[in-house]
A and B are shown apart, each in its own frame.
Chain A
Amino acid sequence: MKRVLPWIAFVGALAFILSGLWIPATHSAFDLEGFGRIPVLVNGRIKPLDTVARTSLLEFQDRQRVYLRDQTEFTPLEWLLDVAFRPEKADTYPTFTIDNPEVLTLIGKTEEDLKIHYPDTARQVLAIFDFVPKIDRRFSYETIFPSFSEIERQAQLAQAVEAQQRTPFQRAVLALYNHLVSYQQIKYSFVSPDTPDFLNELRNLQAILPKGLEAVRAKRANQPHDEQLAQAMVEIVNRFDTMSRFGSLFTVPPQHGEDKAGWRKMGQELLDVFKTSELSPPIQTFATLQKAWRTGDSDLFNSTVARYHEHLLGTVGEQLKKTNGEVRFNMAQPFYQSMIIYALAFLIAIAGWVVWPEALGRSAFFLILAAYLATTAGILTRMWLEGRPPVTNLYSSALFVGWVAVGLCIILENIYENGVGTVAAGALGFCTLMIAHHLSFGGDTLEMMRAVLDSNFWLGTHVVVVTMGYGSTFLAGFLGLIYILMGVFTKWLPKQFDRRALRRAEDSTVVRVPFKKSGAAQSPPPTPSPETNGQAIVRMIYGIICFATLFSLVGTILGGIWADQSWGRFWGWDPKENGALIIVIWNSLILHARWGGFVKARGMACLAVFGNVVTSWSWFGTNMLGIGLHSYGFMDAAFYWLIAFVVSQVVIIALANIVPLNSWRSFRADTTPTNPPPAGTRAPAR
């Protein structure tokens, strides 16, 4: 059983993670996936509409799905289709999150108005503790729009203030304003938003075009003309021009080739109708899709989408490979799924320290392996989509820190096999992916690099190495946490628990191939006990700190060389540079303290835990200062989380020092190490 369980866990986890790929998000007669695969150019990157839908919703409302008050829900693509083709309906969906109370007042709502009244007492109770939402936080465009001019005014005032000096209200109102504007801009990107039957209108335009142009020419030359017709022409031109100015998505691909500059906005394409009298395929497609979506004609919808894909193959076929891949990647959501697996593995591994260590411990380890495979695949896919090394912005740095830390844990677990690696992997994997998830609310995480950062070589070396330094310092810190918490509260540290030895002891009947190195089949008699869990952890911490010192030092130096190549200065005392320097100094301090004998096990653990504080400052704290070359990630709620984290670490360090060592549960005089190595029952030497 214990042999099979881990493998069941492994396969089960993989299946869970990959489930997103083949279970459709919703059952619909419409070929939503086909629509989602249509590529557009936004912010300098060609991406599928699926990404546009998901990231827009994540930006507006921290969540990908749209839920109405009556519990109906829509997928991101269904929402996008409504925004593009049925805006009057989309305006009623509550998709804009407002948390700031002053902004709520701005739109005329008080917290009282918004209290959710649950019908059953169970949920009322849960609401008090915030397990279910207390108030409505999401509002529809319809609700907000009456106050739009006031929001705009406030946003203009806020815009004039420097970014790092804005109050929370100013940041919130500016964010809301930008979201509303983005939302409007999407509407102008596909069809003219105020026309229910755009296709019909376009056909009419084609019909009257020759006469209309004549009328305009005549008017210009001050000759008799059909005034109404001329006016109508001008009005249509103005509408198309508005679309080309306000639309944010470049929906029309170039005729041939991969040149990004060839992409145009729908408005520009529509203006060309006046020149060519023809409705080009993109115009026809989206106008027809509007008709199909509004009338519920799924057959028309699907056939239009299919035909458009054929057209795309002929024009931007090269790009389609990546955009199709991106859609599958979005569907799989490997990071979100892995996050759940990591949490599960963490709990099972902890349980494994209490009962069934062999079965649960190895199962947890295999779960970690499955999640690790998924995150690796996810990171590699992102690299392929972006054409860049793995770390390009704060979001990807979070993913990579987790990947490095979990990778090291897997190695540790392989060496020591005492569950510590698994527990650490689960916790670190979960935390980093959770951080990454929150960072994804800022918008599309696959973004273009600014000119000064545009160097794959340095991105691949300096950034990756420094991030590995961060990841390993966090790992050492977490191991320190395990040491202190397990030492103070449990009897686990002095246990001499070497699973490998135990397993061999239980499998004494199985003949194992002798270890090749010595060549001798005989072994010397068994030597006294292997190390305790506590000793093992301290050794792990030391090894990881060595690794961290090496990588953070090399990474920092590579950064200096990059700076020297780019702007002639090896070291500029930038906050992020300083943060990295502090990490290097701290890690080397730990090593020197150990070599000098100034700290023993407890001291090492405390110093390592403080390394967590130092690294979180360098990774996030420096961004919050808002100055220097590295200020590219500004977060608000994150500040409080950072403070909370730092306080928690300091409390644990204090705990370790205030409680005298001989009062630690693990080191109390009455505690005898359990599971002493059974003498003489060991298997023949490998």
Chain B
Amino acid sequence: MRNVIKSFVEFFVSLKLTVVLLALSALMVFFATLDQTQLGVWGIQHKWFQSLIVLQNIKGLPIPIFPGGYFLGGLLLINLVSAHIYRFKLSWKKSGIFITHAGLIVLLVGELLSGVVQRESTMKLDEGDTKNYSESTHYNELAIIDATDPEFDNVVAIPDALLTNDASLQYAKLPFRVVVKAFYPNAFLQMRNQVPNAPDSLATMGVGTQVVATPMPLTYKENEANEPAAFIELIGREGPLGTYLVSTQLRPQSFELEGKKWQLVFRPERYYTHYTVTLEKFSHDRYAGTDIAKNFSSKVRLQTDDGHTDREVLIYMNNPLRFDGLTYYQASFDPSNEHNTVLQVVKNPSWILPYVACAMLFTGLIIQFGISLIAFASKRRRQNAHA
């Protein structure tokens, strides 16, 4: 038994494992890069890096073809940490390596944390627009809004991950159940009168009765977005209230129930803040006589709900706005007119870790190679002295 444990431990601390894992990691990154032409950046992240095993669809069957990022990264981390604990004795000579490896650990852990807690979204503003939310680029939500109050909306947001076929969802604030009759991750909508021989619509209320929704395969192209759609049935206390078609391509649909006004809308997931951002002016400079963008910048006004903050900020390339745990970057703009901006909003509490890691890595490597270089130089000098 002790021998089993010993060989187990020796496996994890061995340098051979490190070399093998490094080689496999290099291969994994290479294959993932090739796969990117098919799947796009997000696709490969989910398939290759944020997984334990990489599954490839061969003739409909998912076949494991390669260890995934979590597996290799995790093993490398274990290998690194255990080797240090088990083998290395603290000494000045090896201090460079210690610091380097420590930096590496911080980097890996930091990236792991980022992958988990980081949240990216965008905020699109026309000049004069004010918004207090940003929208996700990958996740959508079904928002069921109680719009009775003239000033406030009470929103119940259901993430699209929960909208699987035949799901039945219940929530305390809703006086009805939501049953998903059909969910299409990407759908093509057309007016019924333009589609001859269309099958009867699943929808019984709202716009959906006039629309034909055709499911389409997911697209991974960078400049195309998937437009999901779903047929959802609302079942109240006394029975079904009707089936609606909701989609990111449709405007909000309203209905009344027991004196309350409700709205249904399927939209990108929203992240609200307690402050508003208003776009006052968007500037776009080009190089003289060309269309090449020289710089673009957005002058925005930041106002908190409690009135404590009300100031103007200029956001431009390489100069983001950091406020309240979120960072606003000048990402791009809609080229159809020159009076709008698209800001990238990033929430990443672990943002400082890569910087710390870099400092450690750099210091560690300099120390280690510095020691080697000095040793080499003095040996050379001694050699030449003897010649």
Query: A residues within 8 A CB of B118?
Result: 569
Give bound CA distance, A523 to B387, whole Å: 9
Q: Which secondary structure dominates where chain A touches chain B?
A: helix
Query: B residues within 8 A CB of A596?
Result: 15-16, 18-19
CB atoms of B37 and A561 under 8 A apart: no
CB atoms of B18 and A592 under 8 A apart: yes
Query: A residues within 8 A CB of B82?
Result: none
CB atoms of A451 and B296 under 8 A apart: yes
Query: A residues within 8 A CB of B167?
Result: none
Task: Mark out the residues of chain A between 563 and 599 whose CB falls within 8 Å of any chain B CB in the assembled complex.
Answer: 564-575, 578-579, 581-582, 585-586, 588-589, 592-593, 595-596, 598
Q: Which secondary structure dominates where chain B touches chain A?
A: helix
CB atoms of B15 and A455 under 8 A apart: no
CB atoms of B320 and A568 under 8 A apart: yes
- The 8 Å CB contact of B369, one of A44, A498, A550, is A550
Give bound CA distance, A515 to B318, whole Å: 53
- The 8 Å CB contact of A568, one of B36, B37, B120, B381, is B120
Closest to B34 in A: A625
B26 interfacial contact with A, CB 8 Å:
yes
CB atoms of B293 and A450 under 8 A apart: yes
A278 interfacial contact with B, CB 8 Å:
no
CB atoms of B290 and A44 under 8 A apart: yes
Give bound CA distance, A617 to B380, whole Å: 36
Shortest A472–chain B CB gap in Å is 12
Give bound CA distance, A427 to B346, whole Å: 47
- The 8 Å CB contact of A415, one of B25, B111, B380, is B380
- The 8 Å CB contact of B387, one of A526, A573, A581, A589, is A526
B191 interfacial contact with A, CB 8 Å:
no
Chain B: interface size category? 35 or more
Knowing A501-B387, A589-B19, say if A579 contacts B114 (CB, 8 Å). no
CB atoms of A561 and B346 under 8 A apart: no
Closest to A415 in B: B380
* A609-644 interface bits toward B, Cβ cutoff 8 Å, 1 = contact, 0 = none: 000001001000010011110000000000000000
Among the stretches A107-115, A177-185, A479-487, A552-560, the one at the interface with B is A552-560
Give bound CA distance, A539 to B387, whole Å: 19
- 20 A-B residue pairs with Cβ-Cβ distance under 8 Å, sorted by A, are A41-B289, A43-B289, A260-B287, A260-B288, A263-B289, A454-B295, A498-B387, A517-B385, A550-B369, A568-B344, A569-B118, A570-B111, A571-B111, A573-B49, A582-B30, A586-B22, A592-B15, A592-B18, A592-B19, A622-B33
Query: B residues within 8 A CB of A582?
Result: 26, 29-30
Query: B residues within 8 A CB of A203?
Result: none
A543 interfacial contact with B, CB 8 Å:
yes
Give bound CA distance, A570 to B29, whole Å: 17
Give bound CA distance, A630 to B118, whole Å: 23
Query: B residues within 8 A CB of A524?
Result: 386
B222 interfacial contact with A, CB 8 Å:
yes
Give bound CA distance, A558 to B385, whole Å: 41
A511 interfacial contact with B, CB 8 Å:
no
CB atoms of B369 and A450 under 8 A apart: no
Query: B residues within 8 A CB of A276?
Result: none
Task: Mark out the residues of chain A between 397 and 454 whose CB falls within 8 Å of any chain B CB in the assembled complex.
Answer: 415, 448, 450-452, 454
Task: Mark out the residues of chain B between 331 and 365 whose CB falls within 8 Å of any chain A CB in the assembled complex.
Answer: 331, 344, 346, 348, 351, 354-355, 357-358, 361-362, 365
* A232-276 interface bits toward B, Cβ cutoff 8 Å, 1 = contact, 0 = none: 000000000000000000100000000011010000000000000
B65 interfacial contact with A, CB 8 Å:
no
- The 8 Å CB contact of B289, one of A44, A452, A572, A682, is A44
CB atoms of A569 and B36 under 8 A apart: no
Knowing A263-B288, A515-B385, A568-B348, say if A451 contacts B293 (CB, 8 Å). yes
B376 interfacial contact with A, CB 8 Å:
yes
Give bound CA distance, A614 to B18, whole Å: 19
CB atoms of A553 and B15 under 8 A apart: no
Knowing A573-B45, A589-B19, say if A448 contacts B33 (CB, 8 Å). no
Query: B residues within 8 A CB of A578?
Result: 29-30, 32-33
Closest to A685 in B: B385
B327 interfacial contact with A, CB 8 Å:
yes
* B248-281 interface bits toward A, Cβ cutoff 8 Å, 1 = contact, 0 = none: 0000000000000000000000000000000000
Give bound CA distance, A589 to B76, whole Å: 13
User: Which 8 residue pairs of A and B lie closest in terms of their CB atoms, listed nearest first?
Assistant: A44-B287, A568-B346, A260-B288, A596-B15, A451-B293, A589-B22, A527-B386, A557-B358
CB atoms of A560 and B36 under 8 A apart: no
Query: A residues within 8 A CB of B327?
Result: 568
Query: A residues within 8 A CB of B287?
Result: 43-45, 260, 448
B366 interfacial contact with A, CB 8 Å:
yes
Most buried by B among A451, A564, A565, A582: A451
A101 interfacial contact with B, CB 8 Å:
no
A665 interfacial contact with B, CB 8 Å:
no
Query: A residues within 8 A CB of B147?
Result: none
B194 interfacial contact with A, CB 8 Å:
no
Query: B residues within 8 A CB of A547?
Result: 369
Give bound CA distance, A203 to B362, whole Å: 70
- The 8 Å CB contact of B386, one of A523, A592, A625, is A523
CB atoms of B289 and A567 under 8 A apart: no
Give bound CA distance, A554 to B287, whole Å: 32
A530 interfacial contact with B, CB 8 Å:
yes
Give bound CA distance, A582 to B381, whole Å: 36
- The 8 Å CB contact of B292, one of A44, A566, A568, is A44
Closest to B351 in A: A564
Query: B residues within 8 A CB of A564?
Result: 351, 354
CB atoms of B320 and A530 under 8 A apart: no
Shortest A7–chain B CB gap in Å is 25
Interface size on A, residues (CB 8 A): 77
CB atoms of A451 and B294 under 8 A apart: yes
Give bound CA distance, A515 to B382, whole Å: 11
CB atoms of B32 and A573 under 8 A apart: yes
CB atoms of B346 and A569 under 8 A apart: yes
Query: A residues within 8 A CB of B33?
Result: 575, 578-579, 622, 625
Give bound CA distance, A550 to B358, whole Å: 12
Give bound CA distance, A263 to B372, whole Å: 57
Most buried by A among B45, B354, B366: B354
- The 8 Å CB contact of A523, one of B19, B320, B385, is B385
Query: B residues within 8 A CB of A450?
Result: 292-293
Task: Mark out the residues of chain A between 45 and 84 whose CB falls within 8 Å of any chain B CB in the assembled complex.
Answer: 45
Query: B residues within 8 A CB of A646?
Result: none
Task: Mark out the residues of chain A between 468 and 519 whose CB falls within 8 Å of any chain B CB in the assembled complex.
Answer: 498, 500-501, 504, 515, 517-518
Closest to B286 in A: A44
B329 interfacial contact with A, CB 8 Å:
yes
A363 interfacial contact with B, CB 8 Å:
no
CB atoms of B26 and A526 under 8 A apart: no
Query: A residues within 8 A CB of B293?
Result: 450-451
CB atoms of A549 and B365 under 8 A apart: yes
Give bound CA distance, A517 to B383, whole Å: 13
Query: B residues within 8 A CB of A294?
Result: none
A686 interfacial contact with B, CB 8 Å:
yes
CB atoms of A44 and B361 under 8 A apart: no
Query: A residues within 8 A CB of B37?
Result: 164, 625-627
B384 interfacial contact with A, CB 8 Å:
yes
Known: A568-B120, A596-B16; 11 extra A-B contacts, CB below 8 A, are: A44-B288, A263-B288, A415-B380, A452-B317, A458-B318, A547-B369, A554-B361, A566-B317, A585-B22, A589-B26, A596-B15
B246 interfacial contact with A, CB 8 Å:
no
CB atoms of A574 and B290 under 8 A apart: no
Query: A residues within 8 A CB of B288?
Result: 41, 44, 250, 260-261, 263
Give bound CA distance, A181 to B385, whole Å: 69
Closest to A457 in B: B318
Give bound CA distance, A204 to B16, whole Å: 88
CB atoms of A451 and B365 under 8 A apart: no
CB atoms of B329 and A566 under 8 A apart: yes
Give bound CA distance, A547 to B120, whole Å: 36
Query: B residues within 8 A CB of A558?
Result: 358
Query: B residues within 8 A CB of A316?
Result: none
- The 8 Å CB contact of B22, one of A518, A546, A592, is A592
